[in-house]
Chains A and B, each alone.
Chain A
Amino acid sequence: AQSVTQLGSHVSVSEGALVLLRCNYSSSVPPYLFWYVQYPNQGLQLLLKYTSAATLVKGINGFEAEFKKSETSFHLTKPSAHMSDAAEYFCAVTNNAGNMLTFGGGTRLMVKP
């Protein structure tokens, strides 16, 4: 079964600073990888999706993620944090059949003025 590890349950950055949220998955290459964002009292919204078309994936709100097979990683980045980026972020991977999604534990991003 796939597993997902998000390093750092809490990350704090200053407004305008680089955002880096880490995600590592278990060794077999999953068909799909995702990043979701959850704002307070809301459901999860898709930020971006990797489907093997390109290793660098651009998402909404200026976020992007790079799939690195050699490192089994799919880290999420944004060059300049905005106050509105404060939320919880979840990395997720599918199983080999592509029909079941496993989520990481989430990383809460805090943005300081």
Chain B
Amino acid sequence: DAGVIQSPRHEVTEMGQEVTLRCKPISGHNSLFWYRQTMMRGLELLIYFNNNVPIDDSGMPEDRFSAKMPNASFSTLKIQPSEPRDSAVYFCASRLSGAGELFFGEGSRLTVL
């Protein structure tokens, strides 16, 4: 079975540009999480969906960040406009509700110049 699939793996963009990160969770999983990882702040939970509905977005840094999950097999994280401080690795993870364990994608490394 394929794991969590994220794209792109690497993205380099200029300040002010829109960035869209994509995630395909493991088939059958009904919870999806977006995390951000930086050296300074470690792993931060940005937003959590359950059955395609956002449950907790308290970790989303500001209005420039938005996330959607239009169906059970696809989610996006959008940053508009991007800033250099958004440079980080963004991870998507999925889980069967109640099972506890998260399965992570390989991450999308974002560099904003």
A residues with CB within 8 A of B: 31-32, 34, 36, 41-46, 49, 51, 90, 94, 98-106
Q: Which residue of B lies closest to A106 (CB)?
A: B42
Q: Is the CB of B50 within 8 A of A99?
A: yes
| B20 CB within 8 Å of chain A | no
Whole-angstrom distance from the CB of A57 to the nearest CB of chain B? 13
B91 touching A99 by the CB < 8 A rule?
no
- State in angstroms the CA–CA spacing of A79 and B55 once bound together: 41
Are the CB atoms of A105 and B98 closer together than 8 Å?
no
State the majority secondary structure of interface residues on B: strand
CA distance A32 to B50 in the complex (A): 19
- What's the Cα separation between A44 and B50 when bound, in Å? 21
Asked whether, in the complex, the Cβ of B107 is within 8 Å of the Cβ of A43, the reply is yes
Which chain B residues in 82-105 approach chain A with CB under 8 Å?
Answer: 91, 93, 97-98, 100-105
CA distance A100 to B31 in the complex (A): 10
A32 CA / B42 CA spacing, docked (Å): 21
Task: Using A104-B42, A106-B43 as known contacts, list a sample of 8 further A-B pairs with CB atoms less than 8 Å apart, ordered by residue number in A.
Answer: A31-B100, A32-B101, A49-B100, A51-B100, A90-B43, A98-B98, A100-B45, A101-B100
